[in-house]
Amino acid sequence: MNSGKSLRNLLWLLILIKIVLPFFLQNDFYQPHRDEYLYLAEAHHMAWGYMEIPPFLSVFAWISNLFGAGLFWIRIWPDLFGALTFLLVGKIIISLGGKKFALILGWLPFVLDGYMRLFFLFMPNFLDVFFWTLIAFTLIRFIETEQNKWLYGFGVAVGLGMMSKYSVAFYTISILGGLLLTQHRKIFLNKHFYYSCLIALFIFLPNIIWQYNHRFPVITHMNELQDEQLKYNSAIGFITSQLMMNFPCVFIWIAGLIYISFLRSGKKFRFLGWAYLFVIVLLIVLRGKDYYALGAYPVLFAFGAYQLEKASSVRLKWTRYAMLIFSIAFGLFAMPLVMPLAKPETLVKYYEKTHLNRTGSFKWEDQQMHPLPQDFADMMGWKEMAMKAGAIYNSLPANERAKTFVYCRGYFSAGALNYYRKEAGLPETYSDNASFLFWLPDKYDVKNLILVGHSIPDSNDIVFRQFATISIKDSINMPLFRENGMKIILCQNGSDSLNYILTKTVAKLKNEFMR
């Protein structure tokens, strides 16, 4: 078997393992993540944009819903895009002249650290990382071949990337800045580069129009993030997290960064070193979350894997065993942080025994330390919530149910109740949070309301003042669930003014996002 065919066979074997492995690592106790319910709900309201994200993810959500939206059909998309991202990494390694050890090194981050979880949750982050990698890949191929078709690939990657997550703009700006500071600035004299930019704009244009028509809700969403979450982020914490997120394989991307930034043999790829620096500085200035930078690392893993293989090819060959042992040992040790391998109570005991619970992985968005990583606490309790809400709804007489409105304070609970609505016997559930605001009815004929939230509304809430009785009917008792204590509240016998007030209130909320 020739060397080229052997490398290709190994590449595809590693891709297959990458696709299959995650499905064996999640304990069947866990349910979809709170944010996954939102993205699945968006596919029932297909549009050119949403309050939080561009529309591309909803295409895959629509297909998942078509096949029943079971966990396999939710998780297969990030898994496949993770495999495609590694395929790009493998192609870069092979184009550089890397062999089997380099391919294995480039593969390890996808199965041993944070990329395992990122490419298993149905969130826009998996598309974000893929398109960052594809953008870099197309420019690498253009530099290696000088074929203009790769510039058009760059335009398509940017356009589809922007239709997936707006943070693609950060990397695009950074990589163009990197080109300007290197010998490759001549790309800006190539007319095909500008044609590719027009292609990117054409692909992204429908979302720009949608944003304009809705008064740019992305700005509102980013302001909310700044006020509620991003204001707590610090430069030191961000930089530390860059090392810890990929700790089992941290030496690989560091070797890649050194290779393209300082070594003569990596000089033609130096623009990617500048791009990395620019995007890290940009995210620090904007107080971005640590994982926003994950898209910058796959290409660094490719260059690092190649360089480490080359450096250890003769005298230091023994270091290859040390590299593999280090990555695998730390990766297996930390895997219960990355994937929910066991039930929550079992994981908590493991974290306590190993002292992993003292790390930053247990600080949630509320800036408090908790027994579980936040993502795991977001993957339980939702079905129980839906079933309890359904039991209360179905306890009402049929004529009462027909005029009962089910409402949730948060997009996550509304999404979960809609996901389990058939099993729970619920009607469509609504919320005014996130994109659910756009899907509220314009007119109302309501007498009762079931509210899912943490507390009874304040007495100054004009809508809830219209009900004769408000009572807590049930609550969620699941201590490790992020929304533990969530209550199901029944509001009955609305006044004659209720429907008028609902109609006016919802219209006012919607008009803030309409021209």
The string of DSSP codes covering 112-136 is: HSHHHHHTTS-SHHHHHHHHHHHHH
Domain boundary among 318, 338, 358: 338
Residue 345 lies in a domain: no
The answer on 121 and 65 residing in a single domain is yes
Distance of alpha carbon 179 from the chain centroid: 28
Residue 353 lies in a domain: no
Q: Which pLDDT score is estimated for 289?
A: 85
CA 383 to CA 424: how far, in whole Å? Answer: 9
Residue 359 lies in a domain: no
Residue 368 lies in a domain: no
The answer on 172 and 90 residing in a single domain is yes
Residue 373 lies in a domain: no
Q: Answer for the pair 370, 483: CB distance below 8 angstroms, yes or no.
A: no
The answer on 300 and 151 residing in a single domain is yes
The answer on 119 and 268 residing in a single domain is yes
Residue 365 lies in a domain: no
CA angle 410, 415, 416 (to 5 degrees): 100
The answer on 389 and 315 residing in a single domain is no
The answer on 450 and 334 residing in a single domain is no
Task: Name the nearest CA neighbour of 164 among 193, 222, 203.
Answer: 203
Task: Name the nearest CA neighbour of 394 among 419, 428, 425.
Answer: 425
The answer on 188 and 68 residing in a single domain is yes
Residue 313 lies in a domain: yes
Count of structural domains, the chain: 2
Residue 352 lies in a domain: no
Q: Which pLDDT score is estimated for 233?
A: 74
The answer on 236 and 333 residing in a single domain is yes
The answer on 209 and 106 residing in a single domain is yes
Residue 469 CB neighbours (<10 A)? 9
CA 70 to CA 23: how far, in whole Å? Answer: 13
CA 119 to CA 84: how far, in whole Å? Answer: 10
Residue 299 CB neighbours (<10 A)? 27
Domain boundary among 284, 309, 338: 338
Q: Which pLDDT score is estimated for 229?
A: 67
- Kindly list the distances between the CA atom of residue 479 and the CA atoms of 37, 123, 226, 411, in Å, as whole numbers in the listed order: 21, 25, 28, 21
Q: Answer for the pair 80, 89: CB distance below 8 angstroms, yes or no.
A: no
Residues of the chain with pLDDT under 70: 1-2, 227-231
Q: Answer for the pair 118, 96: CB distance below 8 angstroms, yes or no.
A: no
The answer on 297 and 149 residing in a single domain is yes
Range of the domain at 175: 3-338
CB-based burial, 245-277: b 16+ in 10 Å, e otherwise: bbbbbbbbbebbbbbbbeeeebeebbbbbbbbb
The CA R_g of the chain, rounded to the nearest whole Å, is: 25
Q: Residue 487: beta bridge partners? A: 453, 475
Q: Which pLDDT score is estimated for 2?
A: 61
The answer on 170 and 84 residing in a single domain is yes
- Kindly list the distances between the CA atom of residue 509 and the CA atoms of 47, 101, 259, in Å, as whole numbers in the listed order: 19, 57, 53
Task: Name the nearest CA neighbour of 416 among 431, 405, 398.
Answer: 431
Domain boundary among 317, 338, 359: 338
